[in-house]
Amino acid sequence: MEDIGESLTRMIKDRNLTDKYEELIQEVLDDPDVTQFIADNRQKLDDEAIVKSYAKLYEYVQEKKKFQLKEGMMAPGYHPKLVLNYHYIDVTYVPSAELIAKQKELEIKNRIYSMDMPKDVRNAKLADFDLTDERRYAISEVYDFIDAYLTKPKEFHKGLYLQGSFGVGKTYLLGALAHELAKNGFPSTLMHFPSFAVEMKQSIGKNNTGEKLEFIKKAPILMLDDIGADSMSSWIRDDVLGVILQYRMQEQLPTFFSSNFDMKQLEEEHLRVTQRGEDEPLKAKRIMERVRYLAKEVKMTGTNRRHTH
Ligand code: ADP
Ligand code: MG
């Protein structure tokens, strides 16, 4: 004999399930996007096809909710979309505008090789650049370069030697320039020169000195940040910096510099006298000839922004 209690429980359970199921289906069928989709495709969908697609419609509504809440998504950044698959309804996932923008920004950033540079440099953008009268000249020079370079990327274009005191925004401007070039598909290499010099010195005797030097030398667009910030050994001056600049001159590759010192100071106070105290005016002159060939000196003035941010 059947246990009445048991079959009753089962009945209640089933009833609950059915009610719940109907509730869910109703919610799905009330969804405006579902209604619209069914209306748009009514000719290709008979009732049976719609019933068979309930699970898919349910998935669609649930994932849409998650997408709107930005929580628990199956594929974060992708939003669900209803499609017709033969005579059944299916759900596909398409990247959201936000995700596409994010991926694009990442692609741009991946074109900026920054070595030992502050973090915010990769986020610098010309559009965000605070325009002050003092900066206007440097920025217009940057725009001139971009115009010229984008018009004829294969020709030689003189870079800039941004000179100005600590905190005026030289590094930031180089970062913004790199970003703008990256947006147009051109990679640049931004390198903190004093750190590079230390690294080169430490790697003497190891095998990778040459590799890194080659990479820097041949970078399609190179930005040497903070040149002259540390005293240079004659080896760094002649066999590292000199070699890089010589190659870039020969190959006509755009090169930028930033420095707290103007070109004259760099020559007289930093390149001429070596770490050991030897006075080598001719060697300093040779380096400066290359710097001058490659870049135009642009003075940046203004307040120190490091304390205002
Ligand atoms: P410098 O290289 O001349 O010493 P930085 O480029 O490092 O100066 O700039 C100093 C600080 O000010 C940084 O934190 C930088 O992000 C910020 N900064 C500089 N210029 C701008 C700008 N035009 N708009 C917004 N922030 C800036
Ligand atoms: Mg700087």
Q: Both 108 and 80 in a single domain?
A: no
CATH number at residue 158: 3.40.50.300
Cα 227 to averaged position of ligand 2 atoms, centre (Å): 9
Q: Both 300 and 284 in a single domain?
A: yes
Q: Both 91 and 146 in a single domain?
A: no
| Residue finishing a domain among 72, 95, 118 | 95
Q: Both 107 and 73 in a single domain?
A: no
pLDDT given at position 5 = 61
- Return the residue matching tokens 């991926």: 103
Mutational test site, ligand 1, from 172, 192, 308, max ligand atoms within 8 Å of CB: 172
The whole-model pTM stands at 0.77
Query: Left, alpha or beta for 95 (phi > 0: left; psi -120 to 50: alpha)?
Result: beta
Q: Both 91 and 114 in a single domain?
A: no
Cα 258 to averaged position of ligand 2 atoms, centre (Å): 7
Q: Whose CA is nearest to atom 6 of ligand 1?
A: 169
Q: Which residues contact 107 (CB under 8 A, 6 or more apart)?
A: none
Q: Both 74 and 187 in a single domain?
A: no
pLDDT given at position 31 = 95
DSSP summary character for residue 110: T
Domain range for 39: 4-95
Q: How many C-beta atoms surround the C-beta of residue 273 within 10 A?
A: 16
pLDDT given at position 245 = 98
DSSP summary character for residue 223: E
Contact 222, 256 (CB under 8 A): yes
Q: Both 262 and 140 in a single domain?
A: yes
* Total domain count, the chain: 2
Cα 301 to averaged position of ligand 2 atoms, centre (Å): 13
* Nearest ligand to the C-alpha atom of residue 124: 1
Mutational test site, ligand 1, from 174, 261, 305, max ligand atoms within 8 Å of CB: 305
* Tokens found for residue 140: 């217009």
Distance CA 146, CA 152 (A): 10
pLDDT given at position 1 = 46
Q: Both 108 and 78 in a single domain?
A: no
| Residue finishing a domain among 95, 126, 159 | 95
* Tokens found for residue 84: 């017709």
* Nearest ligand to the C-alpha atom of residue 301: 1
pLDDT given at position 209 = 73
| Residue finishing a domain among 45, 71, 95 | 95
Measured from the Cα of 226, ligand 1's closest atom is: 2
Q: Both 258 and 123 in a single domain?
A: yes
Q: What is the 3-state secondary structure (H, E, C) of 18-42?
A: HHHHHHHHHHHHHCHHHHHHHHHCH
Cα 54 to averaged position of ligand 1 atoms, centre (Å): 56
Cα 247 to averaged position of ligand 2 atoms, centre (Å): 25
pLDDT given at position 127 = 81
Contact 160, 222 (CB under 8 A): no
Which residues contact ligand 1 via a Cβ below 6 A?
120, 129-130, 164, 166-172, 258, 305-306, 309
pLDDT given at position 62 = 92
Q: Both 62 and 126 in a single domain?
A: no
Q: Both 261 and 117 in a single domain?
A: yes
Q: Both 121 and 265 in a single domain?
A: yes
Residues of the chain with pLDDT under 50: 1-2, 309
pLDDT given at position 10 = 67
Measured from the Cα of 121, ligand 1's closest atom is: 16
pLDDT given at position 85 = 87
